[in-house]
Chain A
């Protein structure tokens, strides 16, 4: 977001009044969409929430495909996770890298309390309450050793905890207990725990995927309402003060340590609660459900949407989860890639003459490169492009060698170098280099990344975090920080 310069009659940049009126200034938007923004901002939060939940609840009536409903349930679960992480990272400014372990802890604890593993079949409401309380307590326990320390120690302790959690879940299937002969199977090991009771509340048993969608939307609404109230409470304001400057917050006699632990416990409890729904909708839990790629996914959701903003992280969760689902299939992944490139060009390249020149240059560059490659080495263009829509369009433009792995890998390394060089160049040279870089990106995408979607996901999420942090740390909907000079 561009910093608004102090107007001649307004306060000078950096003085108290300028800082105090920062939100007011950043709220003023120009352009043709300004009235829309203004109208959207006047809507009360509960109306937005009701609209979002209402529309999502209709998904089963729009599509009868079980896959679509399952993706919708996952998206809501991710939104819940992102909301929980947002309390810790976005509001309190603590880096919690063990977040998915709490999610896993919740899921496993629910699985232990309500399955045939120990033949305990607690009623769902009781299990869920136990899970929420114990997740919060576990968060407290883990936060205690780090409470006096700077945020970095908390990060490493929690990251280590996430690792330990996976080790325990994978290996706790043959623990020797003093009161039991022989090894006891607690977590089911790599096979996990299956045969988990479905959640049932007041006699109604949630059996189908669509009923779980409604359940998770209900939980989502409750969590959003709770968080909205907390955000505007004394505690919420204290968290934000802590995030901006914990030393200053302490001088204002805020109980900094207690606030940090409280934020941590809130995040853990939300994650635990989400874990229970996950366990019951999947009817099983496995150690690999809660590994580190999940962590970076949730982080990317929070950062992309805008850490600190409730609608922001929800939108981040929806965007990322839906995009990741689209990546699974080559045809959709291709569409996603070119739409993203196109959107990026349209928003970032000004004026439109330059944009048109780049587009024409890109097409021409591709055709020339293809002809050149065909003339040099026919094997470079005789590989197959993965099928699907648009594949025919790309024939004759993007090079697709027989040995796509090795050339694709070389292209990948070259692409990283080219992108890094782009950030260093200015002016006309940047536009000139942009054309071959985009072509290279298309080449690598078609030959390498489309083929390995699971790698591509993490690769893109990692790159997204790095790019967002230096380019737009407030994400899509967050507010930019006020720099106090």
Chain B
């Protein structure tokens, strides 16, 4: 067995997986609280990637970076996260809140509209050409860990570590803070939470902000590792992020992380060993099989419908 290749796919899978996990978290948090499938989430991730690219161009572009690279990447992440956070809040405010008591299908159709609107706005604003982060111009990709078959570039290490740090931070936030407690209460029962004096609207806004900011961070990370950003990148990533959320058990935060890693690893290994054209078909089959065998996902609880 070719260990170099195997390890390379493993690292690929971990990188992809942490990105999918970050996207899945946004889906799962919003779904947990509003029971709403936020189709526009993938486009939020795409906008994050473009925001990071904008910061890069602002500081001289890939070929002439004018500031320290670590500061630059920190700025890219910060700007993308704050920008997409507010984008998510605006989407919630204008597209979903008016429909909170509407039939279930109404916000889904609205979400579909938002998704296409954002996608074509990006096409209008940034054009149809691929933009590239060209990370190799300002970071030496040869540096990193080299140990036997293990070769990980410093960018990937940074991306995987940042993703895990963000997930850890989110777990702490949900488990330890007042806001986290309010979020859990709202997810459990929105009306009862409101009766306990929790400002449900504020919790929902916070959820959208955090979820969208994570997607924005994922967008920058994908740009740093895979370079290319374009207006259609959000669709498939959003779809896989959602699949990850379903695989992990929708509504469950550790489930989304697990699901993201699983989907990322399976995609990397399928691309490496089976077929690099039809990997999406296999990811899709994973989703179908899981829905047949365990519809509540790996870590989700079976939902008892209340009347």
Which A residues have a C-beta under 8 Å from some C-beta of B?
89, 93-95, 97, 145-146, 148-153, 155-157, 159-161, 163-164, 167-168, 171, 243, 247, 292-293, 296, 299, 303, 409, 412-413, 416, 420, 423, 448-449, 452, 455-456, 458-459, 461-466, 469-470, 473, 481
Contact = CB atoms under 8 A, between A and B. Distances in A.
B288 A163 contact: no
B113 A465 contact: yes
Contact of B287 (A95, A160, A303, A452): A160
B221 to A, nearest CB: 23
A481 B103 contact: yes
Smallest CB-CB A-B distances: 5 pairs: A465-B113, A462-B117, A462-B116, A470-B98, A469-B110
A473 B239 contact: no
B305 A247 contact: yes
A171 B278 contact: yes
A299 to B, nearest CB: 6
A160 B124 contact: no
Contact of B105 (A95, A163, A293): A95
5 contacts: A152-B108, A163-B239, A163-B280, A164-B284, A462-B119
A95 B123 contact: no
A461 B116 contact: yes
Mostly, the A contact residues are: helix
A121 to B, nearest CB: 30
Contacts of B104: 93, 150-152
Given A292-B235, A458-B119, A462-B118, 14 more contacts: A97-B112, A145-B292, A153-B246, A159-B239, A161-B284, A167-B281, A168-B278, A168-B281, A243-B103, A296-B113, A458-B120, A462-B112, A466-B94, A469-B106
Contacts of A413: 125
A296 B112 contact: yes
Contacts of A161: 284
B304 interface: no
Nearest to A141: B288
B254 interface: no
Contacts of A420: 90, 94
B242 interface: yes
Contacts of B99: 469-470
A157 B119 contact: no
Interface in B79-123: 90, 94-95, 98-99, 102-110, 112-121, 123
Contacts of B281: 164, 167-168
B94 A473 contact: no
Mostly, the B contact residues are: helix
Contacts of B205: none
A156 B107 CA distance: 14
Nearest to B96: A470
Contact of B291 (A89, A157, A470): A157
A333 to B, nearest CB: 15
A145 B284 CA distance: 12
A250 to B, nearest CB: 10
Contact of B124 (A148, A164, A455): A455
Contacts of A412: 121, 124-125
Contacts of A470: 95, 98-99, 110
A153 B291 contact: yes
Interface string B275-303: 00110110010011001100100000000
A18 B166 CA distance: 53
A459 B307 contact: no
A473 B120 contact: no
A93 B105 CA distance: 7
Contacts of A455: 120, 123-124
A465 B110 contact: yes
A74 B25 CA distance: 42
B113 A462 contact: yes
A466 B114 contact: yes
Contacts of B246: 153, 156
A409 B37 CA distance: 30
B117 A155 contact: no
B103 to A, nearest CB: 7
Contacts of B121: 412, 416, 459
Given A171-B278, A466-B95, A466-B114, A157 B287 contact: yes
Nearest to B236: A163
Interface string B139-172: 0000000000000000000000000000000000
